[in-house]
Amino acid sequence: MTRPVRYALRLVSLAVALGLWQLLTSRDIDVWLRFSQFPTVTDVARTFADRLAGPDYWTDLTDSLTRILSGFLLAAVLGVATGVLVARSRLAEDLLGPVLEVVRPIPAIALVPVAILLFPSNEQGIVFITCAAAFFPVLVSTRHAVRALAPVWEEAVRTMGGGRWRVLGSVVLPGALPGVFGGLSVGIGVSWICVISAEMISGQYGVGYRTWQDYTVVDYPGVFVGMVTIGALGWLTSTTVELLGRRLTHWLPRTSYVPTAARPKPARAAGAAVSPAGAAVPEDTRAQPEEARDEHLVRD
């Protein structure tokens, strides 16, 4: 499938969802699920346009983004550092392991009281909760990724005379990167959940705060504007993480990267269909140039 076709399909997916929503709400359909009270797409769009024109929307947006980015980046750094430490050092594992394992099951949003007690301002409390949410997925996946590294890579660097830091920089960090990005992808998702929830509970400004305000004054289109904003921002940030991850781990062997069109099929495919053993023939002829080249290089 070509690129434009795939993008078109993605647009169609969104358009169909919106169309269905508009249809159900504008016809006031009530079949057990009650869409009559639901704002229509056009209502939401109108409110959205109004909000975009006002100053509050953008303040909310930048506030939420600042909170999530600071919390998430902090979590990424701390999570990777702690994960590597715990995976590489038995002492660190014994010292930090039990504390981390006890704190890990506590949902980050349940840390709101702790945040209120600990931090002088709401702002720092929200960043703390966001950070706590993303920290554990990053920590756990980093720990696993570091433990799963092939020992030969480390041994190779050590027999080159490389020390601890060289092994860390040349083997551990790059080798663990695919796993770390798995954790970051999960982390950015949980971060959004927590930043929005924390804003709803204790925020001043922010998309979560605004959405909850709209709900308390029964402004349903406003609530939906908030939800759409959260969805779009979440998508934006996780796509950024995803793309960054793909770029940094471009070295991973990926089958999907092999262009399927490059496979030679013409003339020979007809011959293969005739002879029963034909399937093996193109395989051999394709392998030959490589081997021939090998030998040639060895001889001279």
- Please report whether residue 160 would count as binding other proteins according to CB under 8 A: yes
Under rule CB under 8 A, which residues in 168-197 are in contact with other proteins? Answer: 170-171, 174-175, 177
- The sign one gets for the Cα dihedral 85, 89, 92, 96 is positive
- Please report whether residue 162 would count as binding other proteins according to CB under 8 A: yes
Point out which span in 51-59, 102-110, 164-172, 221-229 binds other proteins (CB under 8 A).
164-172
Token couple for 171: 């083997």
Closer CB to other proteins, 32 or 251, in the complex? 251
- C-alpha–C-alpha distance, residues 85 and 78, integer Å: 10
**The only residue of 153, 205, 215, 220 in contact with other proteins, by rule CB under 8 A:** 153
- Please report whether residue 159 would count as binding other proteins according to CB under 8 A: yes
Closer CB to other proteins, 54 or 289, in the complex? 289
Burial of 217 (0-12, 13-18, 19+ CB in 10 A): exposed
Under rule CB under 8 A, which residues in 231-250 are in contact with other proteins? Answer: 249
- Please report whether residue 215 would count as binding other proteins according to CB under 8 A: no
- β-partners of residue 31 are 33
The pair phi, psi for residue 203, each rounded to 5°, is -90, 165
Token couple for 122: 């709401």
Total residues interacting with other proteins, rule: CB under 8 A: 29
Point out which span in 36-44, 73-81, 101-109, 145-153 binds other proteins (CB under 8 A).
145-153
Which residues, including other chains, have CB under 8 Å from residue 83's CB and lie 6 or more apart? Answer: 138, 139, 140, 141, 142, 143, 145, 146, 176, 180, 183
DSSP-derived letter for residue 172 is I
For binding to other proteins (CB under 8 A), which residues are involved? 150, 152-153, 155-162, 166, 170-171, 174-175, 177, 249, 251-253, 290-291, 294-295, 297-300
